[in-house]
């Protein structure tokens, strides 16, 4: 089972649609450092430079599809939260 930590860089939390989570971090200046501090298993982000740094630190990442990251192909891609869920679920199923 994975712990869910939401990390926002803009300091604004206006997403009432988010599922139940374990921790919320707003105003994150360095997501890679937070991933290390909290031993995050998988980062989901739309910024490919952040994804790249996390992967280089040995963590898993999912890039959330946007028009500015379409050429990035070094991590799994999700177009919606169902795809994120399916990917994480497949990891959990493979670890059983």
Could you read off the pLDDT of 36-92 as tens digits, one per residue? 888 888 888 889 999 999 999 998 999 999 999 999 999 999 998 889 888 988 887
Length of the chain: 96
Query: Residue 77 has what pLDDT?
Result: 96
Q: Which residues are registered as beta bridge partners of 60? A: 42
Going 11 to 43 to 22 to 86, the CA torsion angle's sign is positive
Mean pLDDT of 5-23: 57
Q: How confident is the model at residue 34 (pLDDT cuts 50, 70, 90)?
A: confident
Query: Residue 74 has what pLDDT?
Result: 94
Q: In this structure, are residues 76 and 62 in contact, taking their beta carbons and an 8 Å threshold?
A: yes
């Amino acid at each position: 089972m994975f712990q869910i930590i939401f990390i926002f860089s803009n300091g604004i939390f206006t997403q009432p649609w988010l599922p139940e989570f374990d921790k919320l971090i707003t105003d994150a200046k360095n997501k890679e450092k937070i991933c290390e501090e909290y031993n995050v298993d998988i980062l989901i982000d739309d910024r490919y430079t952040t994804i790249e740094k996390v992967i280089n630190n040995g963590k898993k990442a999912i890039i959330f599809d946007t028009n500015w990251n379409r050429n990035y192909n070094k991590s799994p891609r999700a177009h919606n939260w169902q795809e994120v869920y399916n990917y994480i679920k497949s990891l959990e199923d493979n670890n059983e």
